[in-house]
């Protein structure tokens, strides 16, 4: 049983019913683990700074984090590629019980939490995001990391490898 007490959630508990990093839905095959994403640099280094205790400590050993404030230099592509949480809420992209959005859901799913209805919603959102990978592949030369860096950063934040 995992107990969550951080700036955005207090007293939330969940059970891990699958093995960490295993037993994913058949239509969900992320290209990056949460640890890899944190090490590469996502969400300006500020997304997970107050809730690290919930997840394995090795995820944060080499993570690019900025506890004080968001810092685009923590992002792999050194570019801002996100919208404020207020926009996520306004657009209906935040689902209980994950007030931080998709990446928080993915971290918990990766750990082994399963909530079938929520999982189906978030996996559908992840699959829809793949269109951005197709756009980068179509519009850029192979391995030209200077091409569409904002879109590549967004791919990274959705567990798709931007390195192609």
Q: Vertex 32, ends 27 and 36: CA angle to 5°?
A: 155
Q: What is the pLDDT of residues 76-95, one digit of tens each?
A: 999 988 787 788 888 888 98
* 5 lies in some domain: no
Confidence label for 16 from pLDDT (cuts 50, 70 and 90)? very high
- So what's the pLDDT on residue 88? 80
* 1 lies in some domain: no
Q: What is the pLDDT of residues 17-30, one digit of tens each?
A: 999 999 999 999 99
* 163 lies in some domain: no
Domain that holds residue 33: 18-156
Q: What is the pLDDT of residues 62-76, one digit of tens each?
A: 999 999 999 999 999
* 59 lies in some domain: yes
pTM, 2 dp:
0.94
How many domains is the chain built from?
1
* 10 lies in some domain: no
Q: Vertex 134, ends 107 and 42: CA angle to 5°?
A: 35
The answer to whether the CB of 63 falls within 8 A of the CB of 44 is no
Q: What is the pLDDT of residues 22-57, one digit of tens each?
A: 999 999 999 999 999 999 999 999 988 899 999 999
The answer to whether the CB of 30 falls within 8 A of the CB of 126 is yes
Give me the mean pLDDT over the 88-111 stretch.
93
Number of H helices, E strands in the chain: 5, 2
* 76 lies in some domain: yes
* 72 lies in some domain: yes
Nearest to 109, CA basis, from 33, 49, 3, 37: 33
Give me the mean pLDDT over the 119-144 stretch.
97
């Amino acid at each position: 049983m995992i107990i969550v007490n951080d700036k955005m959630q207090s007293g939330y508990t969940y059970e891990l019913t699958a093995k960490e990093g295993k037993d994913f839905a058949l239509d969900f095959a992320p290209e990056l683990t949460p640890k890899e994403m944190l090490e590469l640099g996502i969400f300006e280094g500020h997304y997970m700074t107050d809730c690290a205790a919930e997840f394995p400590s090795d995820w944060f050993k080499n993570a690019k984090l900025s506890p004080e404030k968001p810092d685009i230099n923590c992002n792999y592509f050194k570019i801002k590629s996100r919208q404020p949480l207020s926009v996520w809420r306004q657009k209906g992209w935040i689902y209980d019980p994950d007030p931080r959005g998709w990446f928080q859901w993915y971290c918990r799913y990766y750990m082994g939490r399963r909530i079938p209805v929520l999982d189906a919603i978030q996996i559908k959102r992840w699959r829809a995001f793949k269109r951005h990978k197709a756009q980068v592949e179509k519009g850029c030369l192979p391995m030209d990391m200077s091409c569409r860096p904002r879109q590549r950063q967004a791919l990274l934040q959705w567990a798709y490898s931007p390195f192609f």
